[in-house]
Structure 1
Amino acid sequence: MELPFPISTYHERMSRVRARMTEQGLDGLMLSMPDVVHWLTGVNSVGYLWPQALIVDSSAGEPTYITRTTEAPGVAFCSWLTTPRVYDIAVENSVEVIAEVIRTRGLDQARVGVELDAFTLLPGNWDRLRAALPGVTWVDASNLVPEERLVKSMAEIAYQRQAAEMADYAMERVFEAIRPGMAETEVAGIAAKALGEAGSEFAAIPPMVVSGERSALVHALASRRTLSRGDVVCVEIAGVVHRYHAVLMRTAVIGEPSARVREVADCAGRATEAAIAAAKPGAPAAAPEEACNAVLNELGLLPNRCHRVGYSLGVAFPPGWLEPMTLVKGDPHVLGPDMSFTIEPNLSLADEGFGIKMGDTALCTPDGSVSLSRLDHSLRVVG
């Protein structure tokens, strides 16, 4: 058995989730998101590409994890579960198996929470499951478990700190390597190699590298575009330890930057620092955004901010790494100690032919928030 935490930690997490179930009037849960299943059980696999479900009822017993037979050795090795229900995709229908387990656990006439926002619950399977269990009252519980994960334990924070060190190492190797004539894909490969050297696991999103006019494309993946002198190069990576992510974003320029690139990058750096400083315990989730916007408005850059200022971050699997708290106006969360989140006031100036990425993973402490990165927020001049 290979677990990042003692089994008692998983039992304590299950107790907290069951208490939240009771508060919300639920008799059971059907969970399928890989980050949720991993956080509760330790299961660590991309097997969620096929239907999976973790069925939790109000008893103190072990939940039932349902997955295909291929995943059985991984469940035994990576989780504390002892009695998974595995199905053979050649002879069994996964939806029928899930329905069977729900009936067996006495939930076929109950109120059952389900992650309606889950990409792992395909519309066709959802329709078939409801048809197979007409007596179930389904309740959207997409954020029930993720809400329990917002405040991190000391052990979880330690993993994120390690992940941040790995991201710092990889970003520095990237900046050392960037030269004219490289392709964006080569730069992304250098980032991936450096992350591996540092001990990072694969991230929920691969290294993103954009350059020149493509630097205004905030979520584009690396292309075969060749870097040239004068190019702005934006890099986004994440270090990962036991699936705990620490995201890092920085921008470099090959050769001497223009005055405009330098002033925009400087503003983005100051906006990042202002947002981190505003993320104090007891502050509303929107406080970092308000502080960031005040700095960006000095240069009239607010219309160019093309991304939320940040969001909570922790355990993640492909294809994404968001937790439910977002640092935007209207989010009801209040910041508190041991919450971790990104700060990333990314800017797209497509009409000027460049963009700026600047972002850290931050941790809220009793004395205020701090970046987990040791890298400063200045524009890097390379090549």
Structure 2
Amino acid sequence: MRAKYASFTEQEHRARLAEARRLLKEQGIGHCISMAPESLYYYGGYDSWVSVNSPQALIFSADEDEPTIILRDTDLSLAYESSWVEDVRCYRLMFDDIPAIFAAIAREKGLRDGKVAIEIQSYAVPHALGLALARALAPAQIVDATVLMGMPRLIKSPAEMAYLRRASRYAQAGLDAARQALKPGITEIALADAIEHAMRSAGSDYWSIPTELASGDRTAGGHATARNRVIERGDLVHLEFAGVEARYHATAIHTLAAGEPSRRAREVYEIGRHSLAAGIAAIRPGANVTDIEEASLEPVRAAGLEQAAVMRFGYGIGIAYPPIWLEPLQISRGSNQTMREGMVFVLHAYLQLVDEQLGIIQGGTYALTENGVEMLIGGGDVPLDVV
């Protein structure tokens, strides 16, 4: 049976595609070759991570034609089991001219010398492939569709929220396992194993970023992954990992202590906690993301640690494939976006004191609902968790 493992109805996918077409027309763009795997899933229902080594695309025009999925022959059954799209075509890797095939399909749909949208900021479009596509599509002009195709994903439907809440439950299982397993003498890798085993046992799909975990003198590394370091009594341990349902990610962020930490560690943690709370308090529909990050920095500046706050305060999250789980919402200075009801996002207060070999991160995944900001999963604004 076709689309046996579909995550959404064909009707929801077609409504999303209609919105993408509306945006294309607004920009005067006639065609799209969508190659980011999160877009293929969001619009076409096609669930596959293999863009990293096998180009694949959803090709459609701004008109009402039926879309086409083109993929490697090895992955044909993956489209049949997940996608509503009827026109699915294949190529043979190492034998067929993939850019030429993509261009030929676009021309079947009326592309001549106009604009064609491609998510050129996606890892699924490496430089060499992008150059080859530009040659194959000439004289048509490639325009970047990374934001255009990504922005509709920021407002979550009820069905998407249901997946995110289930993903949050998987992440909660990981957080509970971390609290239970953490003790002096355990290694970081063993702690990561306990977290990941708990999430998989609860039913989680695979996550698109490795479990980030650092302890003791490694905590100043914001994106550190677990090593065979033995966790010592009094060490801080900070965690960032995601539960996943139907490719929707809910990220847990938390700092724990393996026994009573140093006075300085507690002090830095409290500054980060106040930063997180101040940023959350500034979030409401219509709020500018710059103002939110500025609010989060006020407690940090008061403590003289602004130079240690090196991460953006937040970003959008939802559908994700390796190697990232970020959506095009940036809750940061330098962006001019505004918050809207229905958005789901990761928030984190992060302080990195490299000279002191000390760092904390605190936050989680939140939703902006009609009732305000709701934390779906994470440590949040709580006193330091000493286990």
Q: What TM-score do you get using the length of structure 2 for normalisation?
A: 0.95
CA distances 1:270-315 after superposition (whole Å, capped 9, x unpaired): 2212212211111111232122111222322221112100011111
Q: Distance in 2 between matches of 1:140 and 1:46?
A: 21
* 1:199 corresponding residue in structure 2: 203
Check conservation: 1:338, 1:364, Cα contact below 8 A. yes
1:176 pairs, out of 172, 177, 180, with 180
2:363 pairs, out of 352, 359, 364, with 359
Shift of 1:374: 7.0
Q: Report the residue type matching 1:39 in the other structure.
A: Y
Check conservation: 1:287, 1:327, Cα contact below 8 A. no
Check conservation: 2:362, 2:379, Cα contact below 8 A. no
Q: Distance in 2 between matches of 1:156 and 1:5?
A: 9
Q: Distance in 1 between matches of 2:379 and 2:124?
A: 36
Q: Distance in 1 between matches of 2:72 and 2:124?
A: 14
* 1:380 corresponding residue in structure 2: 385
1:344 pairs, out of 348, 353, 372, with 348
Shift of 1:110: 2.3
* 1:40 corresponding residue in structure 2: 43
* 1:16 corresponding residue in structure 2: 19
Q: Distance in 1 between matches of 2:38 and 2:69?
A: 14
* 2:130 corresponding residue in structure 1: 126
CA distances 1:114-163 after superposition (whole Å, capped 9, x unpaired): 21211111211222222222221222221111111111112212221221
SS in 2 for 1:344: strand
Structure 1 residues 369 and 232, CA gap change in structure 2 (3 angstroms): same
* 2:30 corresponding residue in structure 1: 27
Check conservation: 1:41, 1:81, Cα contact below 8 A. yes
Shift of 1:106: 1.9
SS in 1 for 2:132: helix
**Is 1:330 aligned to residue 334 of structure 2?**
yes
Shift of 1:237: 0.8
**Is 1:91 aligned to residue 95 of structure 2?**
yes
CA distances 1:246-286 after superposition (whole Å, capped 9, x unpaired): 11111111111111111211221222122122111111112
* 1:299 corresponding residue in structure 2: 303
- Spell out the pairing of 1:299-318 with structure 2 (5 A cutoff): 299-318=303-322
Mark the runs of 5 or more structure 1 residues left unpaired by the alignment: none
Shift of 1:193: 0.6
Q: What TM-score do you get using the length of structure 1 for normalisation?
A: 0.96
* 1:208 corresponding residue in structure 2: 212
* 1:224 corresponding residue in structure 2: 228
Q: Report the residue type matching 2:134 in the other structure.
A: R
Q: Distance in 1 between matches of 2:363 and 2:272?
A: 9
Of 304-313 and 286-295, more deviation after overlay is shown by: 286-295
Q: Distance in 2 between matches of 1:183 and 1:374?
A: 22
Check conservation: 1:276, 1:371, Cα contact below 8 A. no
- CA RMSD in angstroms comes to 1.5
Check conservation: 1:311, 1:324, Cα contact below 8 A. yes
Q: Distance in 2 between matches of 1:163 and 1:302?
A: 33
Of 343-352 and 87-96, more deviation after overlay is shown by: 87-96
Check conservation: 1:276, 1:370, Cα contact below 8 A. no
Q: Report the residue type matching 1:78 in the other structure.
A: S
Q: Distance in 1 between matches of 2:174 and 2:315?
A: 23
Q: Report the residue type matching 1:232 in the other structure.
A: L
Q: Report the residue type matching 2:61 in the other structure.
A: D
Of 213-222 and 279-288, more deviation after overlay is shown by: 279-288
Check conservation: 1:250, 1:359, Cα contact below 8 A. yes
Check conservation: 1:309, 1:343, Cα contact below 8 A. yes
1:235 pairs, out of 233, 236, 239, with 239
- Spell out the pairing of 1:63-142 with structure 2 (5 A cutoff): 63-142=67-146
Check conservation: 2:308, 2:352, Cα contact below 8 A. yes
Shift of 1:112: 0.8
More strand by share: 2
Check conservation: 2:365, 2:378, Cα contact below 8 A. no
Structure 1 residues 257 and 332, CA gap change in structure 2 (3 angstroms): same
Of 45-54 and 314-323, more deviation after overlay is shown by: 45-54
CA distances 1:208-247 after superposition (whole Å, capped 9, x unpaired): 1111111110001111111111211111111111111111
Identity of aligned residues (%): 34
Check conservation: 2:253, 2:379, Cα contact below 8 A. no
SS in 2 for 1:84: strand
Q: Distance in 1 between matches of 2:344 and 2:354?
A: 31
Check conservation: 2:363, 2:378, Cα contact below 8 A. no
- Spell out the pairing of 1:283-298 with structure 2 (5 A cutoff): 283-298=287-302
Q: Distance in 2 between matches of 1:180 and 1:208?
A: 19
Check conservation: 1:3, 1:78, Cα contact below 8 A. yes
Q: Report the residue type matching 2:18 in the other structure.
A: S
Q: Report the residue type matching 1:380 in the other structure.
A: D
Q: Distance in 1 between matches of 2:337 and 2:297?
A: 19
**Is 1:250 aligned to residue 254 of structure 2?**
yes
**Count of residue pairs brought into register by the alignment:** 382
Mark the runs of 5 or more structure 2 residues left unpaired by the alignment: none
SS in 1 for 2:142: strand
Of 160-169 and 332-341, more deviation after overlay is shown by: 160-169
CA distances 1:26-82 after superposition (whole Å, capped 9, x unpaired): 001111111111111111112212111211112323211111001100100011112
Q: Distance in 2 between matches of 1:91 and 1:375?
A: 51
